[in-house]
Structure 1
Amino acid sequence: MAFDEYRYYSGGKEEVLAKLREVLGSEEEVLLAVVFGSFVSLDSYRDVDLAVYTKRGDLGYLAALSARLELALGVPVDVVPLDEIPPRFRYSVLTKGVVVLERVPGLYESLLSRTLDELYYEAGCRRLCERIDAFSGDL
């Protein structure tokens, strides 16, 4: 697809967020939803990036949800499973994104805490591997 075939949107963000909240409010499977990406950080956007934490994370449901949201908003919507994305990406989404639905109080904080634990663990493993590599180089 050629670059000039992309459509960019600007303005109307509050209306999009309100419609997202309305549609997601009827989606009982969605426990937490966070908008992130260019919709949040730039003046214009090509699509709405939405990370969701659901009761069931099957791709069929996420694809159907994406289609329902696109139909309601009139804007392309990319849905990603919040609990399946890598911890660094999840951290970015949770700290830079906008929460549009939190059905379970404290779920956002719990996921952020878990993400920080995973990042801390990864950093420790990385340092340990570096030390092992350095030590084995001395042999």
Structure 2
Amino acid sequence: MYSAFKYYSKPKGEVVSKLEKALRHEKNILLAIVFGSFVEFNKYRDIDLAVYTLRKDLGYLAKLSAKLELELGIPVDVVPIDEAPVTLRYKILTKGTVILERAEGIFEALLSQTLDELYILEHS
């Protein structure tokens, strides 16, 4: 069955600004990175958002996704970055855009851990 997708082309600067503002109120989120089609293309179907958060429960992440979608008017997929497969985590960290980092060094620590895991995978 054919299913049409809705594509958005809202100015990315405005979208990121609204997203940053909304995430500032989420004290459990220590790092937030946008990635995927929102970063790579002019038009996008949704916003992929990787988060490093103190709360990992599905209920919290689902509510966060719904809240952000209501605020932005664009679907938001929230991914807990530390639970993502190592190859996806690498893509997020190397091609994504950091929009929130509450504690200095979290990004670098995750990138270092990810590179170590990739090395082990490739050499085992």
Normalising by structure 2, report the TM-score. 0.96
Moved over 2 A (4+): 1-4
CA displacement 1:113-132 (0-9 Å, x = unmatched): 0000111111121xxxxxxx
Question: Which residue of 1 is the match for residue 3 of structure 2?
Answer: 3
1:45 is paired with a residue of what secondary structure? coil
Q: How many residues align?
A: 124
- What's the CA shift for 1:46? 0.6
User: Equivalent residue of 1:7, what SS?
Assistant: coil
- The structure richer in helix per residue is 1
Unmatched runs of 5 consecutive residues or more in structure 2: none
CA distance in 2, matches of 1:89, 1:71: 26
Q: Which has the larger radius of gyration?
A: 1
| Highest RCO, 1 vs 2 (Cα 8 Å, sep ≥ 6) | 2
Deviation at 1:67, TM superposition (A): 0.5
Q: Deviations over 1:83-133 (max 9, x none)?
A: 0011111000010000010011110011000000111111121xxxxxxxx
The sequence identity of aligned pairs, in percent, is 60
CA RMSD of aligned residues (A): 1.0
Q: CA deviation at 1:2?
A: 3.6
Q: Which runs of 5+ in 1 are unaligned?
A: 126-139
Q: Is the 8 Å Cα contact of residues 11 and 43 (structure 1) preserved in structure 2?
A: no
